[in-house]
Amino acid sequence: MIFVTGGTGLLGTHLLVQLSTHKIPIRALYRSESKKNKVLGIFQHYLSENAQQAYDKIEWVKGDILDLPSLKEHMQGARKVYHCAAMVSFHKSDFNNLLKINREGTENVVNIALTLNRCKLCYVSSTAAIGGLDGEMTTEDSKWKNEPTTSGYSISKYSAEKEVWRAIEEGLDAVMVNPCVILGAGNWNESSLTIFRTLKKGVSFYPPGANAVVDARDVAEIMIKLTDSNITAQRYLCIGSNQSFQVLMAEIANQLNVKMPKKPVKRWMVEVARILIGGLALFTSKKPSITKETVESLFGNKSYDASKIRKELDFTFRTLPEMVENGIKGRQL
């Protein structure tokens, strides 16, 4: 049996689509009924008339990675475990929850996996758990540092990786993937896909920084290939395209047939907006949409080297235009 956590997330849904074409039974953990019901839409986007049949192969179990007794029960019989569940936030107020869900939740998953017979784990980490300096090519060997500008999310994912490495030392067969910003079919109001919604509405400015994006289909395929292989005790950067935000936003705007942002935003403009939005948030129940961490990411210059996984699996990533095209065609309302 295959066990998947985070099956209703952007990457988790793409993973389930690909796993559903295999003959092995699948059990997926979920927390929200509404999110679970939306997964079928992703299946329909990729599998059309075969979507319902593939979706029905999944045994959905309601639970939480922090609920150790029920998690242990749900994981019984698993030979392959894909741990995709995580919390993503760049708000300081969420730091304790980030550590609890990302580190402690991962600790629970790996500890149970250690008790299972012939079980292999694939853990979804992040580029946030890998070091690297602006303007330099980051690799799996880059040193992670806890600095004043390091986000709570980064700390939580790095801490979660340490739990996986600890379990590997104790005998767990495991691999890790470190994807960058993930694009795919899904809800434009959630996760990294909000960039499509933003550009659809129209914007005049683009951030001057740079980062990397990857197709959810590629990450899912890599996860399955690694888990099915004899590879163990390794982690791999999953990077489809390194480019500036200007290039990324121009590609999306072009395919959406909307006006491209033509001016780089000034840092002082974003800082003023952050302060104003933060002040407004004091009078509302909503968390501010701009934090110090998001400002750093907008003005940072990150790039990553995915040659390790390319060589290991002889893998070719989808191009930026292909990622964007799929993200637009696969929009889920």
Distances (CA, A) of 84 to 7, 121, 142, 204: 7, 11, 23, 35
- pLDDT over 90 for what percent of the chain? 68
Q: What pLDDT is attached to residue 300?
A: 80
Q: What's the pLDDT tens digit per position in 180-237?
A: 999 999 999 888 898 999 899 888 888 888 899 999 999 999 999 999 999 999 999 9
What digits encode the pLDDT tens for the residues 287-321?
666 666 776 777 788 899 999 999 999 999 999 99
117: left (phi over 0), alpha (psi -120 to 50) or beta: beta
| pLDDT for 333 | 62
Please count the other Cβ atoms lying within 10 Å of the Cβ belonging to residue 197.
13
Is the pLDDT assigned to residue 277 strictly greater than 60?
A: no
The Cα 4–Cα 249 span in angstroms is 32
User: What would the pLDDT profile of 63-120 be if each residue is shown by its tens digit?
Assistant: 999 999 999 999 999 999 999 999 888 888 889 999 999 999 999 999 999 999 899 9
Identify the weakest region by mean pLDDT among 53-57, 131-135, 171-175, 268-272.
268-272
User: For 2-187+213-244+303-323, which CATH superfamily applies?
Assistant: NAD(P)-binding Rossmann-like Domain (3.40.50.720)
